[in-house]
Amino acid sequence: MRAGHGVETLDVVAGEAMGGYADRTQGIAGTLDPLEVHAVTFTDGAHRFALVVADLVCVNADVVERIRGAVHPLGVDSCWVAATHTHASPETGCVPGGAPTPAPLVDRLVGASVRAVGSALADERDARPHAVRAGVPGLGDRRVSHYRHLADVPVDALVLSSGAGEVTGVLAVSPVHPTVLPASNSAASADLNGGIRRALRAAGDRWIVVATGAAGDISTRHTRQARDRAEIDRLGALVAERLPITAPPPNSTTGTVAGAAASMAADVAAGAADQSFAVRPPVSVRVALAPKAPDELAAAVDAAERARATDERHRDVLDQGRRIAHDLRARGRAHPYEIEVQAVGLGGVTLVAVPGELFLDLGEAIRAGSAGRGHDVIVLGYANGYLGYLPSRGTRTTYETLVSPVAEGGGEQVVAAALEAVETAQEDGRPMRGCTAHG
């Protein structure tokens, strides 16, 4: 396998509307830290896959298709686009069910993505992929305090190493809302993911990409000590302290790093016949998710009105959720939301892409349901489109359940589709273009 990395700055425009907080009224005024667009490419000689990760609140399906079309002529066979979900970025049409992306932002994002992918292609070199995971205490917790406390947050990473045993790049995935900065902030920033990037970069000479995982119900609300750049960097350092970014152990059949390097070179020269270095084409499973029925929306609003708010901000958030739920009810959508859940095999690691805000327990269910097959699974959220929150069945009424556009049980349907995609991706990677999962 060969892998490469590229990065471009995403320009922002003064006064441009900001996304993420429903009650925000001010536009962008300055930059706290640059927004970045990262690209990582993987190829085994038979298929080239690109992952684009942008510091945006979400990416909708329209801009994903534009980026895919733009990078295909560069030699990219398949492409995913993910957002970090920073709330200190331009508005992208990040509403339940998705919306058209503002045209000026589309042009800037497509341009930056093409340049980043071009740089990644030029940077491609031999690589050994492996996955690591660490529990990070104090990084985040469940947003609603009456749910059980998280002892730590599971952070995953896809680590790429040279045959000589040197780590060359890291794709870290944090299942935490990157929302250290408050709604009153008007400066563009990558927020928490930017802090994790900086901390991991400082630990060694390698490229770093930080994406967001199943973060639907996890944030820094109960763990942050301030709401500024210093606090972002403090939390980022927690990840760098815990995440074991090291080269994989020597190949069991060769016994030494030098032997592993020779084995890898032979595999690459042979067209990556060894599946430990193969890039399997993404598998796509379509899911039809029922929208919330009017009575379900009405019941959720009633429950929210009875809910006890612990502070003024909590009351404001619930009020916002009720307004959005009323809007969803007024639209009266009757037909299902159609989304795609995808999986791609990169050697012995399988990435899963979910186009929404999956709750952490559901992301962990994908990993648990995939265990025992000899592959590590890493779940990306906010990828290849944006549907909205995908709660677990039986979740108490919260802002997240109020604004979710799908009927209860939609999150579990996404898990079932992900498990189907993972199983096929781990078997042989044959695309399932016509497969549909219904609930």
As a three-state string, the secondary structure of the chain is CEEEEEEEECCCCCCCEECCCCCCCCECCCECCCCEEEEEEEECCCCEEEEEEECCCCCCHHHHHHHHHHHHHHCCCEEEEEECCCCCCECCCCCCCCCCCCHHHHHHHHHHHHHHHHHHHHHCEECEEEEEEEEECCCCEECCCCCCCCCCEEEEEEEEECCCCCEEEEEEEECCCCCCCCCCCCCECCHHHHHHHHHHHHCCCCEEEEEECCCCCEECCCCCCCCCHHHHHHHHHHHHHHCCCCCCCCCCCCCCHHHHHHHHHHHHHCCCCCHHHCEEEEEEEEEEECECCHHHHHHHHHHHHHCCCCCHHHHHHHHHHHHHHHHHHHHCCCCCEEEEEEEEEECCEEEEECCCEECHHHHHHHHHHCCCCCCEEEEECCECCCCCEECCCCCCCCHHHHHCCECCCHHHHHHHHHHHHHHHHHHCCCCCCCCEEEC
Is residue 434 very low, low, confident or very high in pLDDT (cuts 50, 70, 90)? very low
Range in 104-118, 273-287, 361-375, 383-397 the model is least confident about: 273-287
User: Could you give the CA distance from residue 342 to residue 328 in angstroms, rounded to a whole number?
Assistant: 27
Say yes or no to pLDDT of 335 above 50: yes
Mean pLDDT for the stretch of residues 123-141: 96
Mean pLDDT for the stretch of residues 242-251: 80
Q: Amino acid identity, residue 94? A: C
Q: Can you give the pLDDT at residue 267?
A: 42
Say yes or no to pLDDT of 163 above 90: no
Mean pLDDT for the stretch of residues 335-342: 94
Mean pLDDT for the stretch of residues 352-381: 93
Say yes or no to pLDDT of 79 above 50: yes
**402, 216 Cβ separation under 8 angstroms:** no
User: Could you give the CA distance from residue 76 to residue 239 in angstroms, rounded to a whole number?
Assistant: 32
Pick the closest to residue 172 from 203, 229, 212, 204 (CA basis): 212
User: Is the dihedral angle over the CA atoms 385, 283, 208, 178 positive or is it negative?
Assistant: positive
Task: Sketch the domain layout of the chain as residue ranges.
Answer: 2-242, 279-365+380-438
Q: Can you give the pLDDT at residue 251?
A: 54
Higher pLDDT, 168 or 291: 168
Range in 50-59, 186-195, 266-275, 286-295 the model is least confident about: 266-275
Q: Amino acid identity, residue 222? A: H
The angle subtended at Cα 52 by Cα 48 and Cα 55, nearest 5°, is 170
Higher pLDDT, 270 or 375: 375
Mean pLDDT for the stretch of residues 365-380: 89
Q: Can you give the pLDDT at residue 306?
A: 64
Q: Can you give the pLDDT at residue 144?
A: 72
* Ramachandran bin of 100, using left for φ above 0, alpha for ψ from -120 to 50, beta for the remaining angles: beta
Share of the chain above pLDDT 70, in %: 82
Distances (CA, A) of 125 to 42, 74, 264: 9, 17, 12
Pick the closest to residue 381 from 389, 392, 373 (CA basis): 389
Q: Can you give the pLDDT at residue 383?
A: 98
Is residue 426 very low, low, confident or very high in pLDDT (cuts 50, 70, 90)? confident
Q: Can you give the pLDDT at residue 259?
A: 36
The pair of structure tokens assigned to 140 is: 């985040």
User: Could you give the CA distance from residue 340 to residue 434 in angstroms, rounded to a whole number?
Assistant: 11
Residue 122, number of CB atoms within 10 A of its CB: 10
User: Is the dihedral angle over the CA atoms 20, 21, 25, 26 positive or is it negative?
Assistant: negative
Q: Can you give the pLDDT at residue 155?
A: 98
**379, 363 Cβ separation under 8 angstroms:** yes
Is residue 68 very low, low, confident or very high in pLDDT (cuts 50, 70, 90)? very high
Q: How many residues does the chain have?
A: 439
Q: Can you give the pLDDT at residue 77?
A: 98
Model confidence over 312-321: pLDDT tens digits?
Answer: 666 666 666 6
Is residue 57 very low, low, confident or very high in pLDDT (cuts 50, 70, 90)? very high
Model confidence over 6-53: pLDDT tens digits?
Answer: 999 999 999 999 999 877 888 999 999 999 999 999 999 999 999 999
Mean pLDDT for the stretch of residues 292-315: 66
**390, 216 Cβ separation under 8 angstroms:** yes
Say yes or no to pLDDT of 432 above 60: no
| 22 Cβ neighbours under 8 A, 6+ residues apart | 320, 323, 324
Q: Can you give the pLDDT at residue 262?
A: 40
Burial pattern 365-396, b for ≥16 Cβ within 10 A else e, equals bbbebbeeeebbbbbbbbbbbbbbbbbbeebe
Higher pLDDT, 73 or 392: 73
Strands across the sheet containing 48-54: 78-83, 48-54, 36-43, 2-9, 125-126
Is residue 151 very low, low, confident or very high in pLDDT (cuts 50, 70, 90)? confident
User: Is the dihedral angle over the CA atoms 151, 213, 337, 57 positive or is it negative?
Assistant: positive
Say yes or no to pLDDT of 342 above 70: yes
Q: What is the largest CA-CA distance in the chain?
A: 65
Q: Can you give the pLDDT at residue 149?
A: 80
* β-pair type (279-289, 337-346): antiparallel
pLDDT, averaged across the chain: 86
Higher pLDDT, 210 or 427: 210
